[in-house]
Amino acid sequence: MYNELTLGEIAARGPQTRGVLLRHQLDFCCGGRKTLGEACATSGLDAAAISNELTQAEGGPADPEDWATAPIGDVVNYILDRFHEPLRAQLDAVVTAAEKIERVHGEKVTCPTGLAAHLRYVRADLANHMAKEEQVLFPALVSGRAGPMLSGPVTVMMREHDDHGESLRHMRALATNFLPPAGACATWRALYEQLEQLEADLMEHIHLENHVLFPRALRA
């Protein structure tokens, strides 16, 4: 049932199916054009088993709105309220925690050395990206401009989304798949929980733009 669906199509079915994809580290934001079968073959995963999980997950809570049909302005406002504003606070929190861990536990072999620097880079990169959306692309969409005239800025945003996807993969690697070592302090454990939530939120954020908002804007 799911093998021929793209990861983006599966993700659009709701938070439960997105949760399954996240558990198996299947990239439904930047890699959302791949079918489940293709993505599983690339990652060495059992597509049949994941299809069964997705079937069981169907029927759970739905997304708050059908963003494929909601007014474009409503989709933009949801992205701003649900993702842009909270993301700034999330990034500040994880940067502060990572800096503390490297400062206090830097002598340990298990210390995620380089994580704080990477998170500072991610914070600056995302701040620049969101500013461009908020100052240029989103106002154009809300004012009713759409169609091929937006292909340039949309292409730039999607290319930057690909870069964000690479940053997420590097973040996960530096944080050892968000598995704290034995004896990790409370701050360390909390940081990895926050990073896992950051990854999930950012993937959902990019998915909504790449596979719902941008295609609608270009079709209009």
**Both tokens of residue 157?**
């945003």
Percentage of the chain beyond pLDDT 90 is 70
Q: What's the rounded Cα separation, in Å, for the pair 156 and 129?
A: 10
In angstroms, what CA-CA distances link 177 with 8, 59, 172, 192, 196?
23, 29, 5, 9, 9
Mean pLDDT calculated for residue range 25-48: 89
Mean pLDDT calculated for residue range 6-29: 88
pTM of the model: 0.88
Q: What's the rounded Cα separation, in Å, for the pair 133 and 60?
A: 32
Phi and psi of 6, rounded to 5°?
A: -75, 160
Per-residue pLDDT of 140-191, as tens digits, reads 999 988 888 899 999 999 999 999 999 999 999 999 999 999 989 999 999 9
**Both tokens of residue 187?**
């701050």
Give me the pLDDT at residue 32, please: 81
Q: What's the rounded Cα separation, in Å, for the pair 192 and 184?
A: 11
Give me the pLDDT at residue 61, please: 63
Q: Is the dihedral of CA 122, 127, 130, 132 positive or negative?
A: negative
Q: What's the rounded Cα separation, in Å, for the pair 198 and 43?
A: 22
Closest CA to 191 of 176, 212, 204, 202: 176
pLDDT band at 220 (very low <50, low <70, confident <90, very high): low
Residue 35, strand partner residues: 6
Mean pLDDT calculated for residue range 15-34: 88
Give me the pLDDT at residue 65, please: 78
Per-residue pLDDT of 79-102, as tens digits, reads 999 999 999 999 999 999 999 999
pLDDT band at 2 (very low <50, low <70, confident <90, very high): confident
Give me the pLDDT at residue 28, please: 87
pLDDT band at 120 (very low <50, low <70, confident <90, very high): very high
Q: Is the pLDDT of residue 209 over 90?
A: yes
Would you call 67 helix, strand, or coil by DSSP?
A: coil
Phi and psi of 52, rounded to 5°?
A: -65, -40
Percentage of the chain beyond pLDDT 70 is 97
> Nearest 5°: CA angle at 111, between 107 and 117?
105
